[in-house]
Amino acid sequence: MNGLYFHWYNNPDESLIEINKAGCKKLFKHIKKYFLTYKELERKTGVKNDTLSYHLKKIGVIRVKTLKKLLKAVKIKYNKYDKFIVGISRHRIRLKIKFPTNLNNTNSIILIAAFLSDGHNSKDHPHYANVGFLGNKKY
């Protein structure tokens, strides 16, 4: 793959990520393969059964750091899990996104500018984000 790629695991550890049903099923299958009980899983990873049953089974959302712990415990490489991550979220806002994301394109520049800026309307720098979510974009 050529380009500058951003994977789900490059997000801050406290970020929430959304996993599709196939990804949840695969993870639970591997957990059952590597651990006899959820108590054993909790003892070895620090991930509580409540987290698994509520966050993964019910709503499909989990913190980045928790998924990293689980994948490490069941010997799945992070980048092999990219295809199962369908979004990132913070509080009540969810952003549907496919990982890995290629940052080497104009849309990514606009997105980065939107997150790093409180808005910019200069003719010299037409990427701005003060109208709506990403603003009126000019290429």
Alpha carbon of 130 to those of 71, 110, 111, 127: distances in Å? 38, 12, 12, 10
DSSP secondary structure letter of residue 100: S
Please name every residue paired with 61 in a beta bridge, in sequence order, or none if there are none. 18
User: Residue for token digits 């406290």?
Assistant: 14
Distance of alpha carbon 78 from alpha carbon 9, whole angstroms: 7
Report the C-alpha gap between 72 and 34 in whole angstroms.
11
Q: How far apart are CA 11 and CA 54, in angstroms?
A: 22
Does 20 have pLDDT greater than 80? yes
The string of pLDDT tens digits covering residues 70-124 is 999 999 999 999 999 998 876 666 778 888 888 888 877 766 666 665 555 455 5
| pTM, 2 dp | 0.74
pLDDT of residue 107: 75
C-alpha 93/C-alpha 71 separation (Å) is: 25
Distance CA 77, CA 86 (A): 17
Range in 16-25, 43-52, 87-96 with the lowest mean pLDDT: 87-96
pLDDT at residue number 89: 76
| Mean of all residue pLDDT scores within the chain | 80
Rounded distance, CA 93 to CA 25, Å?
25
Phi and psi at 122, nearest 5°, equal: -70, 145
Q: Which two tokens stand for residue 51?
A: 């987290």
